[in-house]
A and B are shown apart, each in its own frame.
Chain A
Amino acid sequence: MSITYLEAIREAQFEALQQNPNVFLYGQDISTFGGAFKATKNLSREFPGRVFDSPISEDAMIGMAVGAAIEGARPIVEMQFADFSSVGFNQIVNQAATLFWRTNTPCPITIRLPSGGTPGSGPFHSQSMESIYAHYPGLVILTPATVEDAYWMLLESVEINDPVIFCEHKFLYYHLKSEDFGEAMPIGKARIARPGRDATIVTYSAMLHESLKAAEELRLDGYEVEVVDLRSVKPMDTDTILASVARTGRLLAVGESFPWGGVTAEIVARVSSEAFHLLDAPPMRLNSKDTPIPYHPNLWKSHRPTTGHISAALRDLLRY
């Protein structure tokens, strides 16, 4: 058996619906049609009356999920593309994220964001929103990079009594395959995806795979690069990051979102302030370019970090 990252997301939703009668799905085209990416394929047939097509109203969709969660339901909302969640931004950061703190009422909603770039998708179907949402208190931000994590973390998201922003990467939907779902790892713990001693890459989501390829390239030059997969960017497993930097003395943070601020800046800030004495070189970070995401693959490949960019950055880091 071989399962893709996308199938894992469907299976997790199947399992969530199966396990808990309070779970329902809400999103554009997700019912009979099965979703723009087929992440909810057949679920409306398997769970009649629990998978709903929504109007094109991201604001109302999130507000509705918040109200439903208050009443004890556990909605999973699909944003058709992460980019469109900006229309529901107010409801996410001001309604959902503040609810528990303001009123002591838990807000168990899961918002799925099909995230990140794919060739030809252009400025409005390619965005990575984790950095924006991580800025706000009251949200959990998950960024699975593997089939196993896509499955287990989505399933766990539904059990969490707080709003979860589930950033699933579209580039991994079909490319990434696994034999089975393996073992669940707790949310909030980072994973050493590849051990090493000369430098540490801290990354997440699709950038994990570019980073692993870069680490493999550097191996040919005799370097052993450690790669840390954050899994969740918020909470961020600072302990695992610091322990890795303690071993290697060098840090490169890699993310696909825009360069100003954000997750990679947070990683560098934490390492610089908490482990400055462990560093043998200035910490580095690599993000996409500071422009909207281009349409043509020639431009797109240069816009986001790829194996080549990461290898070059690693060489600079190791040369210091």
Chain B
Amino acid sequence: MLSARAAGSVFISISTVSVAESSLPCSSAVEAELREDFLKTLQCMMLSRTLEEKLGSLYRAGGRIVGGVYLGRGQEAFSAAAGIHLRWEKDVYGPLIRDQAGRIAYGEPILDTMRTYLGVVTGPMRGRDGNIHRGQPQKGYMAMISHLGSLVSVVSGALFARRLLGTLGDTVGATSIGDGGTSTGAFHEAINMAAVEKLPLVVSVANNQFAYSTPTTRQYACENLVDRAIGYGIDGHSVDGTDLLACLKVFRTAFQRARAGHGPQMVVGRLLRLGGHGEHDDASYIPDVKKHEHEGRDCLIVAQQQALDLGWATKVELDEWLKNARREVDKAQAQASKEPTPDPYRESWQALSTQRLAEGMGQ
């Protein structure tokens, strides 16, 4: 754990921890637990990648996907390493654009992803909202809006209410942001508020180096985003976002500290978005040299290699998991494809839950 408070302004990156160096943890119990988390997370990443490749090809084929497709390629390790520490229907999660892997790790069925991208009424958004803007708030699974930073206060509010109503227990909240989103006022206001309230919140900052097309040099002037944690009076952690093992270790510490009452935890992962902002974007603005830097590594390949090197999985097992992922994705697609799309004549066209106060101007 790298506490911003403890570390002062000294940025200690663990991105230098290579696969070879990420040697076995000291205690065998801890190792077993880490191994279990690692393999679960790796399978989430594989499922996420497979699902997103399918979504990408459906988008390019045209005709079936409604609206855009926004993928998390290259961010699966960082996203899923957070998600795996969350409990479905217990903890609060407010994922963002590139968190498909985190959503799977949290427990969202991929059928809901498919249903939302296809806009069918059986999905959680019922065709009223699409793609990454999905969730089931009543289960603690928040549905993002497009305005970056605005979900941080919502997740915080849920935690605040739980504390007030006595339902917090050992639950925790997590949400995500990117390098671009850290520039919003909403992000600043919410982190500051969560810090004041000392809420059990983990904020993942995926520094993928481009906000749509804007490089970080045009986004912020501080040396490292994690330094901002000091200003907020919260713990800051840095991690190599392409290294699953490192991500798991850092998030484990962050979640433990959040649950133990140490207040908000900011985890900054350094990585590269391996694709465009959405599938409509060829990302020609990302220089080739970036793709060959350390951050340009594909976290999925790195993680698979780690599994093999550590003797935690065999090639045969990896192949089997990939096959399972493909089967699951095909099944979800087949299921969602035959489900009904929304019917404007059966839509209530009422934005209020209180019927008697609805104006009924939908016509």
Contact = CB atoms under 8 A, between A and B. Distances in A.
Interface of A: 21-22, 24, 49-50, 54-55, 57-73, 75, 90-91, 94-95, 97-107, 137-138, 140, 160-162, 187-188, 234-236
Interface stretch (B186-194, B218-226, B285-293): B186-194
Contacts of B135: 103
B342 interface: no
7 contacts: A60-B192, A67-B161, A95-B150, A98-B145, A101-B351, A103-B137, A140-B354
Contacts of A68: 157-158, 160-161, 164
B147 interface: yes
Nearest to A66: B154
Contacts of A90: 147, 150, 186
A67 B160 contact: yes
Contacts of B128: 101-102
Contact of A95 (B154, B160, B165, B196): B154
Interface string B319-363: 000000000000000000000000000000011111011110000
A65 B357 contact: no
A65 to B, nearest CB: 6
Interface in B112-170: 124-126, 128-129, 133, 135-138, 140, 142-143, 145-147, 150-162, 164-165, 167
B229 to A, nearest CB: 17
Interface of B: 92, 124-126, 128-129, 133, 135-138, 140, 142-143, 145-147, 150-162, 164-165, 167, 185-186, 189-190, 192-193, 196, 350-354, 356-359
B145 A95 contact: yes
Contacts of B142: 67, 70
Contact of A102 (B129, B147, B151, B358): B129
A278 to B, nearest CB: 21
**Which of the listed residues B124, B167, B352 has the most CB atoms from chain A within 10 Å of its own CB?**
B352
Given A70-B154, A71-B161, 7 more contacts: A57-B193, A60-B186, A64-B193, A68-B161, A102-B133, A103-B124, A140-B352
Nearest to B190: A60
B153 A64 contact: yes
Which 3 A-B residue pairs are closest in the complex by CB-CB distance?
A67-B157, A63-B153, A64-B157
A55 B193 contact: yes
B164 A63 contact: no
B165 A22 contact: yes
Contacts of A97: 351
Contacts of B146: 94
A162 B353 contact: yes
A182 B151 CA distance: 42
Contact of B354 (A58, A162, A234): A162
A100 to B, nearest CB: 5
B100 to A, nearest CB: 19
A60 B359 contact: no
B189 A57 contact: yes
A77 B135 CA distance: 25
B351 A70 contact: no
A225 to B, nearest CB: 27
A24 to B, nearest CB: 6
Contacts of A102: 125, 128-129, 133, 143
**Which of the listed residues A24, A64, A101, A188 has the most CB atoms from chain B within 10 Å of its own CB?**
A64
Contacts of A50: 164
A67 B158 contact: yes
Given A63-B154, A91-B153, A234 B161 contact: no
A188 B157 CA distance: 30
A57 B191 CA distance: 11
A187 B157 contact: no
A63 B357 contact: no
Contacts of A94: 145-147, 150
**Which of the listed residues A59, A65, A188 has the most CB atoms from chain B within 10 Å of its own CB?**
A59
B354 A59 contact: no
Given A101-B128, A102-B143, A236-B359, A70 B186 contact: no
A72 B357 contact: no
B353 A55 contact: no
A161 B162 CA distance: 19
A140 B357 contact: yes
Contacts of B125: 102-103
Contacts of B353: 100, 106-107, 161-162
A89 to B, nearest CB: 10
A64 B156 CA distance: 6
A63 B156 contact: yes
A90 B124 CA distance: 23
A55 B153 CA distance: 12
Contact of B193 (A54, A66, A101, A138): A54
A71 B156 CA distance: 11
A264 B112 CA distance: 44
B235 to A, nearest CB: 20
A261 to B, nearest CB: 16
